[in-house]
Amino acid sequence: MDEGVLISAPGKVILHGEHAVVHGKVALAVGLNLRTFIKVLHTRDNAVLLNLPSIGSKLTWNVGQLQPLLPSFKGGHEPVSPRSEQLDLLRKFAGFSEGSQDTESQAVLAFLYLYLSICGQWTETELKLINSWAFQGEKVIHGNPSGVDNAVATLGGALQFQAGQITPMKRVPMLQILLTNTRVPRSTKILVAGVKDKLLKYPSIIEPVLSSIHAISQECQRILEASSAALSIDQFKVLEELIDINQHHLNVIGVGHPSLDKLCQVTASHGLHSKLTGAGGGGCAITLLRPDVDHSVVEAVKQQLVDCGYQCWETSIGAPGVTLHSSLSLPEDIINAFSNV
Ligand code: PMV
């Protein structure tokens, strides 16, 4: 194997606007300083080896095995949406059962779809192309994504997103947050479909809720962009109120979960405010960490959340987008993590 390349992209959280964004409203999304790294190496033995340590998946295919699939995946520089017959073919090839939705099969399917569609096409590397292909990968996993996830993972920073239109925010103050994973699995596809059903069934009730979420995103953006340096405590208070209101709205549109209620109760008992981020129904939540909050309080909250069986990361928002690292500039722990891959 040669040195290969190491690429990373930030995680993301949606500050406000999840679900509403699927219906044309504004969402605010930010890159997270928790990155996913991919190491791409040439192998001598004509094998494609996919190693996803975080989900414990290691698969190998011979190039000869993949060759017969290629005619069904004509990619190139124009990203194309995955067709259901292509996904069926891949499911069969990888030995996954029909309609499988588990994390491994979705990740492997998205990888194989992109690999077979793009392989041999690495002459152009513009962000636009990466973003557009990442969007096709999202379609494999989510069905009908808004495009906000791939956009923020590619571009990083903080983005305003509406109806496919991306506008980077003028400035984003450094904000510390707690990202908590309730470890309750959920399907984004099913949750998004549930909101659509509610909207169709009760348009005059649900549409105003989505419009209010839209207004929350706009108000949050106004506050983040207005401050030239650090936010004042009063501005933090408004951000906290927006978080609380939005969390209630998300419950109204049916994407809450008892695990998220519990999380909000725990953080509220320490004076901190949380909302779900992303699809809801379990999954992750964000908690705003005001600068005046003592670190002992944050530690106590984290401990209590861990005791509930959740995972917590203290991190900051506004991380840079997809990055090609020279191995020299890499932090030691990252190099070590990849040395056995
Ligand atoms: O669950 P996540 O983090 O992939 O976010 C989903 C966000 C939604 O607004 C619910 C769907 C979308 O495609 O924007």
Q: Are residues 136 and 186 in the same domain?
A: no
User: Cα–Cα–Cα angle for 43, 49, 52, nearest 5°?
Assistant: 135
pLDDT at 334: 58
Q: Is 44 exposed, middle or buried (0-12, 13-18, 19+ CB in 10 A)?
A: exposed
**Mutate-to-test residue for ligand 1 from 135, 148, 188, highest number of ligand atoms within 8 A of CB:** 188
Range of the domain at 287: 175-317
Q: Are residues 145 and 236 in the same domain?
A: no
**Mutate-to-test residue for ligand 1 from 18, 21, 30, 187, highest number of ligand atoms within 8 A of CB:** 18
Q: Are residues 70 and 98 in the same domain?
A: yes
pLDDT at 76: 61
Q: Are residues 141 and 10 in the same domain?
A: yes
Where do the H-state alpha helices sit in 143-232?
A: 148-155, 188-201, 203-226
pLDDT at 120: 46
pLDDT at 154: 87
Q: Are residues 43 and 160 in the same domain?
A: yes
Position 49, amino acid: L
Kindly report the CATH number assigned to the domain that includes residue 266.
Answer: 3.30.70.890
Rounded Cα–Cα distance for residues 26 and 160 (Å): 7
Number of domains in the chain: 2
Å from CA of 187 to ligand 1 middle: 10
Which atom of ligand 1 is closest in space to residue 142's alpha carbon?
13
Cβ atoms of 157 and 172 closer than 8 Å = yes
CA 303 to chain centre: 25
Which pLDDT tens digit goes with each residue over 213-260? 999 999 999 999 886 668 899 999 999 999 999 999 999 999 999 999
pLDDT at 208: 98
pLDDT at 53: 86
Classified as helix, coil or strand, 76 is coil
Task: Please write down the HEC assignment for all residues of 147-165.
Answer: CHHHHHHHHECEEEEECCE
Kindly report the CATH number assigned to the domain that includes residue 19.
Answer: 3.30.230.10
Kindly give the parts of the chain with pLDDT less than 50.
1, 120-121, 123-124, 328, 340-341
Which residues have CB under 6 Å of ligand 1?
14, 18-19, 21-22, 142, 145-146, 148-149, 188, 192, 278-279, 283
Å from CA of 52 to ligand 1 middle: 22
Å from CA of 229 to ligand 1 middle: 30
pTM above 0.75, yes or no: no
Q: Are residues 133 and 12 in the same domain?
A: yes
Q: Are residues 94 and 221 in the same domain?
A: no
Q: Are residues 211 and 70 in the same domain?
A: no
pLDDT at 90: 92
Q: Are residues 189 and 278 in the same domain?
A: yes
Q: Are residues 201 and 271 in the same domain?
A: yes
Q: Are residues 143 and 231 in the same domain?
A: no
Which atom of ligand 1 is closest in space to residue 147's alpha carbon?
13
Beta-ladder partners of 49:
60
Q: Are residues 210 and 66 in the same domain?
A: no
